[in-house]
Every structure is written in C-alpha cells, then in structure tokens.
Amino acid sequence: MSELLTRSIQDYLKHIYELTEHGQLASTNDLARALQVKPASVTGMIQKLASDKPALVAYQKHQGVTLTATGKMAALEVIRHHRLLETWLVQTLGYTWDEVHEEAERLEHVISEEFEARIAAALGNPTRDPHGELIPSEDLTMPADESTPLASLRPNQAASIQRVDAQDPDLLRYLESLGLTPGVEIEVTAYSEFDHNLTVKVGRKSNVLGLSITSKIFVENGK
Amino acid sequence: MSELLTRSIQDYLKHIYELTEHGQLASTNDLARALQVKPASVTGMIQKLASDKPALVAYQKHQGVTLTATGKMAALEVIRHHRLLETWLVQTLGYTWDEVHEEAERLEHVISEEFEARIAAALGNPTRDPHGELIPSEDLTMPADESTPLASLRPNQAASIQRVDAQDPDLLRYLESLGLTPGVEIEVTAYSEFDHNLTVKVGRKSNVLGLSITSKIFVENGK
DNA sequence: AATCAAAATTAGTCTTGCCTAAATATTGTA
DNA sequence: TACAATATTTAGGCAAGACTAATTTTGATT
Ligand SMILES: [Mn+2]
Ligand SMILES: [Mn+2]
Ligand SMILES: [Mn+2]
Ligand SMILES: [Mn+2]
C-alpha cells in the first residue's frame, strides 16, 4: 500500500470512505461539499480514479461512487494516520479536542509508516481518537461500531457517550463545557416530539439539546 | 510571516539560505543540485521569487541569487521547523540521528506555528538539533556559529565536536559507530599532507579520516 | 581579439488539480 | 407523460512547477 497518491487523491478517498461507510453511494455533490471543491472538479477526479491502473473507485456516470478494495485500503491508511495523530497531539502535546482536527488534516498526508508505527506504539495502540472515533487497526481493518445516535434515545434511557462526530471547534468547546465527552454517562429525561429536543442529564446537570447536536453524539450500552 | 508560500518555494528559500549563509551568491547550478531539479527550473522559479510583490530573492541574470530580508525570514522559519522537528523526533519518538532528516523534510512544511511553539516548549527551547546544527530562535535569528572544520586542525590540537554537516544515513551511522557525535572530545594525533587524512583520537581509539569526512565535522574550543 | 566550454536563460510542453459556463441527464411531481 | 428543478458531466481555461531542447552569456585561454 505504498503511496504515489497525492494529497488531493488521499482526501478524495477519505471522504468517499466516510460517505459510503454504511453502504451508500457517494454523490458528486456530497463529495464537492465535503472537499470544498466544485462538482465539476469532483467529476474530473472521480473519472481519473476510476480509470487508474488498479482502479481506486467504482463509478457509473450519474450514479455516484464507491471505493474498490484498493481504494478502501488507501482511505483507511489516511484515516488511521489522522486519528492516531489527533490522539497523539492531545496526549503528548497538550492539544485540546477542538484544536487537533486541522493540524491532523495536514500531517496525515506526510508522515511515514515508520512515524505511524512509532506513535501507535508510544500511545499503546489506541482504538479511539479524542473524539471517540474508531482508529483502523494496523492491518487496515475498521473495528465495528456498535453505537447509536443520542437522538434515538427516549426518556428514562441511559447510555454512555462513545463518540462525537464533529470537527467544528466551537461546537466541540460547547459540548465539552456541558460535559458531553466520550466516556461520560448520560440519561435522557425528556423528549419534545415537535422539535426533537432531548433533555439530557449529565451528573447533576441537565441540558436541552437540539437534533443538530443529538444526531452527532453516539452512545452505547443503554441500561 | 504567515505562509502563502508553497512547499516548493519553501525548499528553494531554505537551500538559498544555506548556499548564501557565508556571504556567497547561490548559483543556478548549485541550487539545481541541492533541489534535485534541472537548472532551467531553477531559473524559472528564481525569476518568479524575484518579481514577487515583496521580493523573496535578489537576482541579476547570470550572477546568482541571495535572499531579501523577507526571504531570509521565510527561510529561517522553515529551518527552525526542520531542526526542532528533528530534535523532537529523536527525543520523544526514539528516532536515531540518521533517520530524522527525511521525515523532517516533509513535516517542516505543514506544521502550524502552534505546533512549533508546543514542541519547542516541550523540548525546553533547544538551540541545537541532533546533528548539532543551530536552531534559529523563535524571533528568527540564527545564533552565531563559532566552529571550524575538523579538517583545519593539526596534530596535538584537541577540540570538541559541535556539529556534523551531513544527512546521508550511511555516513551518519558510520560516524556514530566511531563515536564521532556532537559533544564528544577529540584530539588530532597525525596529519598526512598529501591526502589530507587526519588521525583522530576519541577516547581510547584512533581513526584515520579523509577530507570528505573531516570537512563535514565542525569543532570548537581547541585546548 | 578570437575561440570555446561551462553556466544560465529562453521557448515551448506536460501534468495535476482546480475553475466557470454550457450542455445534458435524472428525478419527482403534476 | 411531461416539465421543471436538481444533479452531473463536458468543454475550455488557468496556475504551479517541472522537463527538454535550443540559444545566449560569461569568462578563461590562447
Ligand atoms: Mn487532509
Ligand atoms: Mn477525530
Ligand atoms: Mn522540505
Ligand atoms: Mn539536522
């Protein structure tokens, strides 16, 4: 799996992985939004990736793309780099979880396999990054994710936060200020069916959270 | 000094700095060799850098280039990144001095000022990298270098090794195997004026070193 | 002063990855 | 079934940075 893959291609593959993780096809528009690029540029790149020597994506005009086995390996390699880097920035350099994303976004493309191995070992081969996201294993397998969105819980259900699917620093700081971070136990005490707000108890405090937040927090282990 | 400077430009500036550090002009050919690029490419890039909004280099056709004040700041920024990274790879991830150059060569262009500040602080603001090279200060001043090449010493002169000006991993491993690393005390016991070999004593052992080695080891403080 | 080799520059191409504008395909709905 | 809105693709361009081949400049040597 050694890389002749450009930075740009690595980012395409990573985002295609994320958009197709649950069996969907990634649309040109969704990719354009994720990559901050115009749809026409996505079409161009996708056509190139699809016609590469060993194709990195499977593509049919107007239908969207998925990754080939080769493309998936390359994507998982980048994702592993990203998540190990985030973990390591937090644990060894004192970054906070709202600061790491941007730094990792650049570093992920330039570290060697040697570097990856050394930080993984130094961290004790972690399985989750600071946001609770699962880290692909060294052999590029993505562990199964058992969690469900907090939004799907209803009053009297308790659970523990597994991961927070967000990179926006403001949102992350806000969540931290409420104590909504991975590992924390929470309980839903109220649900408003019109706006889908949930009232969530953390320790002694309760907060009312809208769907745009509860859909980004993933929990497990409701009692 | 924030960067709109591409990776490629950063490498040009860094190498121009190194080639002009002692007052010379950097020639097109020397730069081409240093950057592993054809001379025609160097001419093209130099002309662009010379005609940039605030010019990064001063250039006259066929005469060679030097850095402007702006260009020098940008170069020192990259060099500071490189040398802090090398130091940090050795001290916190257990890299050896022959392994760090290549990794730092890529990382130097993508770390943030925040990252630079954090590793500098974590390392206690070091002034030399693992090869003994001086690290530009945070305000981008290069400390004065008092050292002279080992090649200039003669029998009965003693000195301590300050820095080793080499990146070739094989050479670095060889020097380490001889105990020729920064901080080590040495003494010259013989000189051969025909081939310029020096016999150098380190601890109990002596080795005969050719000019291609003694010109890359810099020493200070002969007693 | 004339000559010549080495060094440097110019001219013209190529690749990568993006863009805008225009054309076309798909889809959901009337 | 047909139309309009939406999504996607095509066509044509541009900027960076590299390359090769051809040409010019420099500066040493006769
Ligand atoms: Mn990235
Ligand atoms: Mn993360
Ligand atoms: Mn570099
Ligand atoms: Mn060094």
C1'-nearest nucleotide to the CA of A38:
C19
pLDDT band (50, 70, 90) for residue A4 = confident
Give the tens place of pLDDT for each residue, A25-44. 999 999 999 999 999 999 99
> Nearest ligand to the C-alpha of residue A85?
2
In angstroms, the CA A198 to CA B18 distance is 61
Reading the block at residue A146, the tokens are 């058992």
The residue type found at A66 is: T
Buried b (16+ CB within 10 A) or exposed e, B135-144: bbeeeeebee
Asked whether residue B30 carries a pLDDT value surpassing 80, the answer given is yes
Pairing verdict, β A158-164 and A148-149: unpaired
Beta-sheet strands, E only, within A112-153: 148-149
Pairing verdict, β B185-191 and B158-164: antiparallel
CB contact under 8 A, B112 and A102: yes
Asked whether residue A222 carries a pLDDT value surpassing 70, the answer given is no
CA of A209 to C1' of D30 (A): 91
CB of B95 within 8 Å of a chain A CB? The answer is yes
Q: How remote is the CA of residue B9 from the centroid of ligand 4, in Å?
A: 20
* Residue A59 bridge partners (DSSP): A65
Give the tens place of pLDDT for each residue, A103-150. 999 999 999 999 999 999 999 999 999 999 999 999 999 999 999 999
Q: How remote is the CA of residue A167 from the centroid of ligand 1, in Å?
A: 13
Looking at residue B1, its pLDDT comes to 38
> Nearest ligand to the C-alpha of residue B182?
4
Which chain A residues are closer than 8 Å to B111 by Cβ? 103, 106-107
Query: 3-class SS at A202?
Result: strand
* Mean pLDDT across B40-49: 98
The residue type found at A103 is: E
CB contact under 8 A, A111 and B103: yes
Give the tens place of pLDDT for each residue, B110-166. 999 999 999 999 999 999 999 999 999 999 999 999 999 999 999 999 999 999 999
* Mean pLDDT across B19-34: 97
Looking at residue B3, its pLDDT comes to 55
What is the Rg, in whole angstroms, of the alpha carbon atoms belonging to chain A?
Answer: 19
Work out if A43's Cβ lies within 7 angstroms of strand D: yes
Looking at residue A10, its pLDDT comes to 98
Percent of chain B with pLDDT over 70: 98
Q: Which nucleotides of C are covered by protein (CB under 7 A)?
A: 7-12, 16-22, 25-26
Domains in chain B, start-ordered, CATH in brackets? 1-144 (1.10.10.10), 148-220 (2.30.30.90)
* Mean pLDDT across B171-182: 97
DSSP string, chain B: ------HHHHHHHHHHHHHHTTSPPBPHHHHHHHHTS-HHHHHHHHHHHHTSSS-SEEEETTTEEEE-HHHHHHHHHHHHHHHHHHHHHHHHH---TTTHHHHHHHHTTT--HHHHHHHHHHTT--SB-TT-PBPPPTTS-PPP---EEGGG--TT-EEEEEEE----HHHHHHHHHTT--TT-EEEEEEE-TTT--EEEEETTEEEEE-HHHHTTEEEE---
Which chain A residues are closer than 8 Å to B102 by Cβ? 112
Q: What is the mean pLDDT of chain B?
A: 96
Give the tens place of pLDDT for each residue, B84-118. 999 999 999 999 999 999 999 999 999 999 999 99
Q: How far is CA A154 from CA A157, A162, A200, A215, in A?
A: 6, 17, 10, 13
Percent of chain A with pLDDT over 70: 98
Q: Which of A194, A198, A218 is nearest to A208 (CA)?
A: A198
Q: Across the interface, which of B93, B107, B111 has its CB nearest the CB of A122? A: B93
* Mean pLDDT across B26-31: 98
Q: How remote is the CA of residue B81 from the centroid of ligand 4, in Å?
A: 11
Asked whether residue A2 carries a pLDDT value surpassing 50, the answer given is no
* Angle, in degrees to the nearest 10, between helices B113-122 and A69-93: 50
Asked whether residue B60 carries a pLDDT value surpassing 70, the answer given is yes
Percent of chain A with pLDDT over 90: 96
Looking at residue A1, its pLDDT comes to 37
Chain A interface disruption, residue of B90, B105, B114, most A CBs within 10 A: B114
Shortest distance, CA A1 to any CA of chain B (angstroms): 19
User: Which residue, counting CA atoms, is nearest to the C1' of nucleotide D11?
Assistant: A40
Query: 3-class SS at A88?
Result: helix
CA of B46 to C1' of C19 (A): 27
* Mean pLDDT across A200-207: 95
Q: How many CA atoms lie within 13 A of B118 on its CB side?
A: 18
Q: Taking the C-alpha atoms of B156, B161, B163 and B167 in order, what is their torsion angle to the nearest 10 degrees? A: 90
